[in-house]
Each structure stands twice: as C-alpha cells, then as structure tokens.
Chain A
Amino acid sequence: MEELLNIFVKSIFIDNMIFAYFLGMCSYLAVSKTVETSTGLGIAVIFVLGITVPVNYLIENFLLKKGALDWIMGDAAKDIDLSFLSFIMFIAVIASMVQLVEMIVEKVSPTLYANLGIFLPLIAVNCAILGGALFMQEREYNSIAEASVFALGSGVGWFLAVVGVAAIREKIRYSNVPAPLRGLGITFIVTGLMGIAFMSFMGINL
C-alpha cells in the first residue's frame, strides 16, 4: 500500500509528465488558453491513461516480454522475445481504446461526451499516453496495481500542469508582455518557471 502511494505521489509531482518529460506538450500548448477547455482535456487524459496503461501492461507481460508466452506455450516460449513489436502494439491499443472509449462515453453519458468529445480523438496522438505506456515498460512495474496507480498519477500530474498554466495564461492576457514574446514565447517561459517550482518536490519519498 505504501509503495502504491509512493508511486502515485512521485508520478504526480516529481516525474510530472509535462515539467520533467515534456510529454503531451503539443496539445498542452494548444488547449491551455482557457481553464475550461484545459480541464476537459485534462480529465480526458486521466481517463485514457488510466485505461490504456493497464491494458498495455497486460500485453507487455503476457505477450511481448521475453518468456512472456510461457503461459500458453510452456518451456518452448522461453526464448521468444517480441519486445521489438511493443511500439506498434502500444499505439494500436491506444488508438483502438480511444475509439472504444469514445463510443462508450457517447452511449453511456452524453453530457460527458459533449464535454470530452472533441478532445478524445486528439488524445490518440498525445505523447503523454504513449509515453505512459513506454515508461511503464521501461520501469518494469511489478503488478498491474502499480502500473494503474502510475497511470492515474501521471494523468493527475498532467491535469494539474495544464490547468495551472491555463489559469496563468488567462491572467497574463492583461499584462504588458514584450510584443515578440506574446503568445507562445511567454507560455514556454511560464511553463519553465512552473517546472522550476515543481522541482522543489524532488526527493520526496513516502
């Protein structure tokens, strides 16, 4: 339990997707103009990460990893290493899961769909989602619970970052920013400064 909490806090604050790894920057820069849209996208990212990372975890551990096919082929599978296929598998899972989630959400909760709808297709090509899957693979989490907690934590971290920057950008509209820095430039610098602020969390260990 403690371990899970540790992973959760770490993935929100220390290994923050945006400030430490710059994942999902494209959509982050595009939607962080208002708090409302960025909240929508942030929730969608938490949602999709929480679903795709555990699914990819299962695929990685029961299909792709060296010796992962043991459970169907027995000893004969010991030397089979399909991990070079992981990129294409992960992206296929993400693209199809996003499609599936979109259809389910549309059916089950039309209000949620109205809020998330436009963002869901965008998410299939959001680096944060694939990044989540690849970090999960690289860090070799021990159980699906750890992988899911990591995914949720990363999603929450992304959400915090995008909403925070959107709030700053809304305020900054009334400030006198040097003309060449307006828009994109100042957003980069604000994000950098927020990143420095987040670095103070470094070393936290529960």
Chain B
Amino acid sequence: MSLFSSKDLKLLTNPLNMNNPITIQVLGICSALAVTVKLEPAVVMSVSVLFVLALANVIISLLRNTIPTRIRIIVQLVVIASLVIVVDQVLKAFVYDVSKQLSVFVGLIITNCIIMGRLEAFALGNKPWPAFLDGVGNAAGYGVILIVVAFFRELLGSGTIWGFQVIPEGFYEMGYANNGLMILPPMALIVVGIIIWIQRARSRDLIES
C-alpha cells in the first residue's frame, strides 16, 4: 500500500460514486449518451477516454508552471487533440468496425467537458502523480456510467450483451418482445435520469434544493 496513500486512493475512488463526473459534476454528457446503444462501443469509448484523460492530465500537470494563463485553453486543446488523433488512428487500425460505429464521437473526445474540466480544476494545480490518479479515477467514473447505461439499453433493446443473445428464445415464443424504444437516442437520457434518481435517493446529501 505504499504506492497509494489514503489521499491518493480517495482521488481514485471518489469519482466513482460521490463525485461522479457524469451524475454529479455534469461533465462529458455529450459523448456519453450517444455511444451507449451497445456495450462494445461503450467500453471502447471508456478506454479511449481513460487513455486521453490520464495522459492529458499528466502532460498538463508537467507543463503547469510554464503555460501562460492567458493561452492555457489553446495549449490544453492542442495536447488533447494530439492524444485524440493517436486514439483515433489506433482504433481505425485495430477495431475498425467499432471505430465506424463511434463515428464522430472519437473526435468529440477533444471537446469532452470531462477532459477540459479536470485539466482546469485539477491538473493545473497538482503534481503529475496525483493528476494521473485523478484522470484515471474520473475516466473510470465516466466509464462506469457508460457501461451501466449501455448494459441496460443493449439488454432491453436488443436482448443481447456484447453481441451475444442472453434472452432465451423461449421468452420470445411466449410473447416477449425487445423494447425498440431503448435503442433510440431519447432513452439514453431517461436511463441516465433514472440512474441519477437512484443515486441521489441513496445518498440524501446530494439532493439539489
């Protein structure tokens, strides 16, 4: 445990629940919802964001004393955009199908508010190692929501998980039908709304007045 002090551990675990980037900080909704029709693109998207956020946090944290405050947004955008280009090229080379499904949303990691938000709020004022942990933690918190939403949308919308049929044929014969609405974009919003509802009902101090 010498690697993680309790403060470091907090950086990692806090964003998973009590300070979740999507449901509490309201960052990065843009790309979060569109990729959650199926589980596979959601996982690929989470891993991409994890890579970009962790590295961008480290790079900006290393540069934090040399960046003039007035042009920091441009500097951040350049760092993020270069990392996203790397991710995009890797995805195109190894998982072409998924990269086609994600279409513009890989590029949109650049303007994903999670990344800018964490760079501004954390990396600019902290050392590289905590910044790295913060990046990993927040990307994981983002990934958790994505995966939960994608799990339910794929299960209820197509009856599959990761492309495998999980709802037995017998159910369909008895009259069960896939809920086509779950595949459509608006249901992503409603599922996230329900997740927020459950989370806030469980920890009352998160409730907005």
Interface residues of A (CB under 8 A from B): 19-26, 29-30, 84-88, 90-92, 95, 121, 124-127, 129-131, 134-135, 138, 178-189, 191-196, 199
Contact = CB atoms under 8 A, between A and B. Distances in A.
A127 B88 contact: no
A186 B193 contact: yes
Contact of A19 (B74, B77, B185, B197): B185
Contacts of A182: 207-209
Interface in B1-52: 23, 26-34
A84 B90 CA distance: 11
B85 A131 contact: no
A119 to B, nearest CB: 15
Interface stretch (B107-115, B153-161, B169-177): B107-115
A135 B104 contact: yes
B111 A130 contact: yes
Contacts of B189: 22, 188-189, 191-192, 195
B112 A127 contact: yes
A19 B34 CA distance: 10
Interface residues of B, number: 51
A92 B80 CA distance: 12
A84 B85 contact: yes
A129 B190 CA distance: 24
A22 B81 contact: no
B34 to A, nearest CB: 5
Given A84-B85, A88-B78, A184-B208, A26 B196 contact: no
Contacts of B111: 91, 125-127, 129-131
B54 interface: no
A24 B89 contact: no
A87 B110 contact: yes
Nearest to B208: A183
